[in-house]
Amino acid sequence: MPHRSLHMPRLVIGAPQGRSGKTTVTMGLLAALAGARGLCVQPFKKGPDFIDPGWLTRVTGRACRNLDSFLMTREIIRQSFVRHMDGAALGVVEGAMGLYDGVDLAGSGSTAEIAKAIQAPVVLVVDTTRMTRSVAAMVMGFMHFDPEIRLAGVILNKVARPRHENMLRAAIEQYCGLPVLGAVPKGARLTIPDRHLGLIPAGEREELGRAVEEIGRTAPEYLDLDGLLRVAGEAPPLAADRAAAQTAENFDGSRSAAGIRPVIGVFKDRAFSFYYPDNLEALAAAGAELKYIDAINDPVLPEVDALYIGGGFPEVFARELAANRGLRAALRTRVEEGLPVYAECGGLIYLGRRVTWREEVFEMCGALPFDVVMSDRPQGHGYEVVEVAEPNIVFQPGEVVKGHEFHHSRLANLDREKVRFAFRVVRGWGIDGRCDGLIYKNVLATYNHIHALAVPRWAPRLVGAAREHRWPGL
C-alpha cells in the first residue's frame, strides 16, 4: 500500500519553561473551539502524565492520548497521532516543561521531538512577568535553536496591563516577525485546583466541571481563535502508511483472541484513575473482557480471572478504602489463591498492609508484606528504566522495560523473605534505588507505570496469565 498524505490541522503548545501556563492555555483553547465553535478537537499530551490528559479529555469529550519520545519511537508517535485524529477537525498537543527540555543534552524526550515527529507548528506560551522588549530576544532564541522546528506564533501570559501588552506585541512583531495569537492578563479566570502531583484529577469532584465551563467562557476573550486555526491549517500533509493502519487494527477493542475472553478486573474510581486509554484498549485487543471495579463502593470482588490496579491517590481516599473491609478481605483471599494481579504505584500501595497519611494510619488490603509512608516530597520522579531480574506474570529475565514513576510514598517494614524483586533499576528510583517490582505468588506490584505502545508484550502476556488462571493447563 503506498503512502498517503493526509491534511490534519494541528498545533503543539510549548513554552520556554514549565509553569508558563501551557495547561490552562491549552484547556482554554480546546474549550473554546469545542464549545463556542463546535469543532471536534483531538487532544494529545506530551509525556507520561495522567492528570492533564484527564482534563483535556473532559474538555473535548475525546480521550486524550499521550505521545512520548522517550518511551516511543518517532514512527509509533506518528502512527498513534494519525490513528487518533480520525474524525477530528484539529489536533492539539500540550507540551511539557520547556520546548527543548529532554532527558539529555540532545533533547531526547522533549516537546520539540514530538513536534518534529508529527511535523506540527509550535505556538509558544510565554510568562511575561517583569518582561518587555526582552521577550523578543527570548522568542528569537526559540525560533532559531532548532531549524526543524517551525515556531508559528506566541501567546502572552500574565500580562500586567494594556500598555505592557502593547509593548510585548510590538517587540515580537517587529523583531521576530511572528503573530501574537493571544494575551492572557494576570488574574484571568483560567485556573484549576491542584495538589502534590499536579492538578486535581478531572473526575474526582463534579464541582470541578464548573472550572472547565468558566475557562471555556473566558478563553475567547484572550485567544485569537481564528489565528490559531489558521496556523494549525498550515501544517504540511502528514504521511500515513500501512503500518499506521495495522496499528489501528491491532488496538481495536472489538477484536479478540480465539476462544472465551478472560475477564480482567480494573480498579477504576476516584482513588484509582491513572490509566492510559491505550493500555485498556490493548488488553481488550489481546482478548480480555474488562470489568470495572469501584474500590470505594463495591462491597465484593466480582468473578475475575486477573486484576489490573493502576495508580491514583489511594492516600487521599484511604479512609474510604479502609472502610470497604469486604473488598479488601476478598482481594487478600484471591491473591493467596493465585489470582494474577498487575499493580502500578497506587495499586502497589493498596496491596500493602497499611498507609500512613498526614499522621493517620489506614488499613489497606494486606496482601503484600509492607507498610507505606507518605511524604511531602517526591520519592521517585521521572522516567524509569528497569531490567527484568526474576520471571513474573508479565516479563521475562533480561528484558528491559521503560516507564515512568512519580510517587510521594516509600515502603516500610518490608518482609523481604516473603517477596522477590522483579526488576533491577537502571534509571530512576523504584522501591529503594536499586530494585522495583514486588513478586508474591501471581502478583507483580511496581512503581513503574508502563505504556502499552512502548511495551507491546505487556497486554498479551497479562491476558495470557488471566486465561491460564481460568483454564489450567491451556
Active-site residue numbers?
345
Q: Could you tell me which residues come within 8 angstroms of residue 466 by beta carbon, excluding any fewer than 6 positions away?
A: 262, 263, 264, 288, 304, 305, 306, 340
d(CA 119, CA 239): 10
d(CA 310, CA 319): 19
Pairing relationship of beta strands 4-6 and 238-240 according to DSSP bridges = antiparallel
Rounded (5°) CA angle 118-34-162: 90
> Residue 185: phi, psi to the nearest 5?
-75, 160
Q: Please, what's the b/e burial string for 1-25 (b: 16 or more CB within 10 A of its CB; e: otherwise)?
A: eeeeeeebbbbbbbbbeeebbbbbb
Rounded (5°) CA angle 194-197-202: 55
Q: Residue 28 has which C-alpha cell?
A: 482554554
Q: Are 389 and 431 in contact (CB under 8 A)?
A: no
d(CA 153, CA 232): 11
Give CA torsion, residues 279, 280, 285, 288, to 10 deg: 130
Q: Are 94 and 23 in contact (CB under 8 A)?
A: yes
3-state helix/strand/coil string of 260-324: CCCEEEEECCCCEEECCHHHHHHHHHCCCEEEEECCCCCCCCCCCCEEEECEECCCCCHHHHHHC
Q: How far is CA 1 from the centre of its chain?
A: 33
Cα within 13 Å of Cα(17), Cβ side: 4
* 45 bridge partner residues: 66, 94
d(CA 434, CA 428): 9
Instruction: Output DSSP code: residue 206.
Output: G
| Cross-sheet strand order for the sheet of 380-388 | 289-293, 263-267, 306-309, 341-344, 443-446, 435-440, 420-427, 380-388, 400-407
